[in-house]
Amino acid sequence: MKNWRMHALAGLLLAGAAPAAFAATATVYYYTPYKGWSTANIHHNASGSWTSVPGIAMDAGCTDWKKKTIDFSTTNFQAVFNNGTGSAWDNPSGGGNYTVPAGVHQVKNGAIVANAGDPCAAVQEQTATVFYKPNTAWTTVNIHYAPNGGLWTTPPGVSMDVACTGWRKKTVSLGTATGLAVTFNNGTTWDNNGGRNYALGTGVTTVVNGAVTSNAPSPCVVDVTPPTTPTNLAGTATGTSVKLTWDASTDPESSLSYLVTRTGGTSGTVSFTSAITTYTDTTGAANTVYNYVVSARNAVGLDSGASNIVPVKTGELTVVSSAFTWDNATVYFLLNDRFANGDTSNDRSYCRESSQACVPFGNDLTQMPSGFHGGDLKGITAKLKANYFKDLGVNALWITAPYEQIHGFVFGGNGAKHYAYHGYYALDWTAIDKNMGSRADLQELVDTAHAQGIRVVMDVVLNHTGYENIKDMAEYGYGKLNSGWEATAYKPADVLTDWQNDVGRYIDYTSGNWAGTYWTRDWIRMNAVAGMDPCEGTDGLKGCVGFLPDLKTEVTSNVGLPSILTVKWGREGRLATEQQKLDAWFAQTGKARTPANHLVKWLTDYVGEFGIDGFRVDTAKHVDMNVLKDLKTEAVKARQAWLAANPVKAALLKGETAFWMTGEVWGHGVGRSAYFDNGFDSIINFNFQGAAGNTGGLNATYTELATVNANNSTPYNVLSYISSHDKGLFDRNNLQTGLTSLLLAPGGVQLFYGDESARPLMGNWTGDHAWRGDMNWSTPNATLLAHAKKLGQFRNAHPAVGAGTHSKLADAPFTFARVKDSDKVVVAIGAGGRAAITVAGIFADGTVVRDAYTGALATVAAGKASVDVGSAGVVLLEVASGN
């Protein structure tokens, strides 16, 4: 029959007769997950008229696909699809019908892809088997998923099967996808990995307590054979780092990892895990003998025997060598008075909290929310010598002003005595406050810091002096006191009723004595004080911030010494000496004797005498720009003079040695402003605190921080923080996230004292005093502190973290690279289980990398480094030493 038809047609063609219309064929594949259907009908007009509704049932093709082959005699035909009953339809996106020509086509997600071929033959079907261990209260478990590039199942998803005790299981088809996004639920409560969804791959994956383990053995396979015992454990020390190696264990039924146990030293028994047969312990102390042993553990928790025990003695403290740059600075901000008390004999200097006869009241100073608690320069130095800051990876200390503050107290808004414990109520810029210590103490602090490569930044104030107060008025004879003032000045209780009752009634602000005995009219402005110019509000260049006496930094004419300093220096026997110093400086610089220039001289003396490395300028927006620029110019000169005069000390400072200046400009963000053209290398970034807890927005935050100088010819940077003395403490329940965001941020970062150890709010104290409590030395959060140390040391070892370019490598987990010259790192945040971290383009295949968080090593393959992730979900990849 077939041969007869072919010959007949050939005869007609040879004879030149016109043949009848030749039938065309179209094979249509329809993708059912688009509408969530299990069956599909095609309704078409291939014969010239439409099929009866609901059309013709399509045949099974392969998973997710239905197919139908249709003959027709025109160039194309029209078609639509439905769920088999006609109750739900699929028309092309935008409406109308699908136009179907001859050939093999795919209809998927509202569009027809002509001549796309057979989807069931083109690629290998991918599947994923997911084991999930739910909350014990769940009796029903659903998996809601979407193959990569595909659509989500209809909520609540697909019911999971019981696999074995405590576990649910589901094998799902992924089509051509090689991974899927997953959440779990019991119909009402959802587990969506903290809002990020779980990112799973093909093969077998286990999910339990937020931890994802890829290519895992089935948790429901009974494995009763433990791994063999690892052998030939050996260890070598380099400084405080100990590298261990051993021969592998075997287990034919399960994957395995290794448990390294260390004993000895003051830390007791410490354990580490490794996925490979080597581990580097970087957490040991110097000159200490540790004993190490290793065992293997398989996927079902069976342990091998213990290996041989290896004793290893560490050497001297391992010092990470990296060139310091302010663009990668980790600036540790502490309040001197609240950090550490190194000398209790100076806790009540100037008869603070003492009787008129200077007899101490005997009260507990640490219970005064706004009083001096006893912290001092010696206390900071002691912590430097204990390597506290070095262990944190800190490379700069921001100390509060050590110069002399008002001796008395003022009425605090919290109804308590308010002393100048914070360093912002200056009395004399030329002297060290005795509560802080001595000039020798400050020199020792700076020298000790410099010996460790740590810079010292000093808080400075040019905007205002300290408040007038009853005790200082009596001591130096300025203003006028009314009788009975002693009742307040020497009041033992830390409770004040109100300002008028405890302070105001004893001070006569109408007396003509003020202008000639205090800071004088040429130096300051004050409200409602006889003989003084009034403030212009509480903002701007002539406002009195917090009602503090405002220094007239805008004055350009010569002024004499203020009366209060003349009296004070005279009593101390140094009036002539201080006058001679001023005369010499003004003669050498040729500057006018303005209030601002006196302040510039006094502050830059700390640079030239002690080697202070930088200033943090308080209330900078309230000081004339020209004064700020001049402060920086003179500080740079003083810095150069110090470097030249102290070559041995200067040699300890590797990397940048230039003087650095940052400042507080309330509300300033990341953008470039005029401050950077007037002396500032950096300005504090007020925006980061609110962004640090939003891990989903970190890439945008990091990108902005890393490109602050992308479109500017003059370099600049910002100093980001999560907690501060003025803006409050970061959420104490989310500090791990906050510290991760901060210590991995581009640019300079400021770590507020106690954030690394979860220092709590202080009791029932109110306002900013509650944020400025004593350092929690006796109750640190050890886990959080260890987390901060790992991040800080990694940051300090790699200038690329703060000063490098930033590029995102992956979304789940959030993975990014930082590169500066030859320094390259890859960081992942939000990882879990055993994770394959994307490193393509940064570390070549075959490169051995080290996770600085856990110490584990991995070899890069196919653009990824696979590591067992630490409990914080952070991976810090660097090239392994010797690579």
Q: If you write DSSP's letter for every residue of 619-684 in order, what string do you get?
A: TGGGS-HHHHHHHHHHHHHHHHHHHHH-HHHHTT--S--S-EEEE--TT--SS--GGGGTT-SEEE
pLDDT at 317: 53
> What percent of the chain stands above pLDDT 90?
74
**CA angle at residue 337 from 408 to 581, to 5 degrees?**
70
- Please state the rounded mean pLDDT for residues 294-314: 91
* Contact call for residues 84 and 40 (beta carbons, < 8 A): yes
User: What is the residue whose two structure tokens read 């600085």?
Assistant: 852
CA distances from 194 to 155, 184, 190, 284 (A): 18, 12, 10, 34
Neighbouring C-beta atoms of residue 718, cutoff 10 Å: 26
- Residue 672: Cβ-neighbour burial (10 angstroms; 0-12, 13-18, 19+): middle
Max Cα distance, the chain (Å): 136
800 vs 122, higher pLDDT: 800
pLDDT at 10: 29
Q: What is the DSSP letter of 536?
A: -
pLDDT digits (tens, 9 = 90+) for 712-759: 556 789 999 999 999 999 999 999 999 999 999 999 999 999 999 999
Tokens in use for 48? 């010239």
Strands (E), 734-831: 748-752, 805-810, 814-820, 823-829
The residues facing 295 across adjacent strands are 259
* Contact call for residues 744 and 687 (beta carbons, < 8 A): no
**CA angle at residue 559 from 554 to 564, to 5 degrees?**
105
Whole-number mean pLDDT of the chain? Answer: 90
* Contact call for residues 34 and 106 (beta carbons, < 8 A): no
CA dist 250 and 228 (Å) reads 5
User: What is the residue whose two structure tokens read 């409050």?
Assistant: 728
CA dist 40 and 44 (Å) reads 13
Helix (H) or strand (E) holding 500: helix 499-502
> 22 — alpha (psi -120 to 50), left (phi > 0) or beta?
beta
CA dist 40 and 32 (Å) reads 7
pLDDT at 217: 83
pLDDT digits (tens, 9 = 90+) for 314-368: 887 554 446 899 999 999 999 999 999 999 999 999 999 999 999 999 999 999 9
Residue 271, SS3?
strand
Active site positions, annotated: 618, 664
Phi, psi at 770, each rounded to 5°: -65, -25
Taking the CA atoms of 510, 512, 517 and 520 in sequence, report the sign of the dihedral they define: positive
pLDDT at 19 > cutoff 60: no
Residue 170, SS3?
strand
Residue 542, SS3?
coil
CA dist 282 and 387 (Å) reads 15
> What percent of the chain stands above pLDDT 70?
95
Phi, psi at 287, each rounded to 5°: 50, 50
Determine which of 89-93, 376-380, 472-476 has the lowest per-residue pLDDT on average.
89-93
166 vs 19, higher pLDDT: 166
Helix (H) or strand (E) holding 796: helix 782-797
CA dist 749 and 717 (Å) reads 10
pLDDT at 14: 28
Q: HSE-up of 715 (CA within 13 Å, CB side)?
A: 7
Per-residue pLDDT band for 141 (boundaries 50, 70, 90) equals very high
Neighbouring C-beta atoms of residue 268, cutoff 10 Å: 8
Determine which of 8-22, 166-180, 435-449 has the lowest per-residue pLDDT on average.
8-22
Concatenate the DSSP letters of all residues of 113-159 into one string. ETT---HHHHS--EEEEEEEE--TT-S--EEEEEETTSPPPSTT-EE
The residues facing 25 across adjacent strands are 71
Instruction: Name every residue whose Cβ is closer than 8 Å to that of residue 255 and which is 6 or more positions away in sequence.
Output: 215, 216, 217, 298, 299
For the chain, report the end-to-end CA distance as a whole number of angstroms: 76
Per-residue pLDDT band for 266 (boundaries 50, 70, 90) equals confident
Q: Long-range contacts of range 520-523, CB-CB < 8 Å, 24 or more positions apart? A: 520/559, 520/560, 520/562, 520/563, 522/552, 522/555, 522/559, 522/560, 522/595, 523/551, 523/552, 523/559, 523/562, 523/595
Instruction: Name every residue whose Cβ is closer than 8 Å to that of residue 585 and which is 6 or more positions away in sequence.
Output: 601
* Contact call for residues 28 and 100 (beta carbons, < 8 A): yes
- Please state the rounded mean pLDDT for residues 701-722: 82
- Please state the rounded mean pLDDT for residues 212-228: 84
CA distances from 117 to 61, 120, 125 (A): 12, 9, 16
Residue closest to 303 by CA, chosen among 374, 251, 231, 349: 251
Per-residue pLDDT band for 437 (boundaries 50, 70, 90) equals very high
Tokens in use for 596? 């601002």
One-letter amino acid at 542 equals K
- Please state the rounded mean pLDDT for residues 507-521: 93
Tokens in use for 274? 């490794």
CA dist 245 and 240 (Å) reads 17
17 vs 870, higher pLDDT: 870
The residues facing 360 across adjacent strands are 354
In the chain, helix, strand, coil percent, each to 5?
25, 30, 45
pLDDT digits (tens, 9 = 90+) for 48-98: 999 999 999 999 998 899 999 999 888 899 999 999 999 999 998 778 899
One-letter amino acid at 572 equals E
Distance of CA 858 to the CA centre of its chain: 25
Determine which of 12-16, 146-150, 179-183, 341-345 has the lowest per-residue pLDDT on average.
12-16
Instruction: Name every residue whose Cβ is closer than 8 Å to that of residue 342 and which is 6 or more positions away in sequence.
Output: 376, 377, 378, 379, 380, 381, 382, 437
pLDDT at 4 > cutoff 70: no
* Contact call for residues 766 and 415 (beta carbons, < 8 A): no
pLDDT at 6: 29
pLDDT at 499 > cutoff 90: no
Residue closest to 297 by CA, chosen among 328, 259, 343: 259
pLDDT at 709: 63
Instruction: Name every residue whose Cβ is closer than 8 Å to that of residue 826 and which is 6 or more positions away in sequence.
Output: 809, 815, 816, 817, 837, 838, 839, 842, 843, 849, 865, 875, 877
CA dist 736 and 756 (Å) reads 9
pLDDT at 231 > cutoff 70: yes
The residues facing 78 across adjacent strands are 99
The residues facing 146 across adjacent strands are 181
pLDDT at 286: 79
- Residue 438: Cβ-neighbour burial (10 angstroms; 0-12, 13-18, 19+): middle
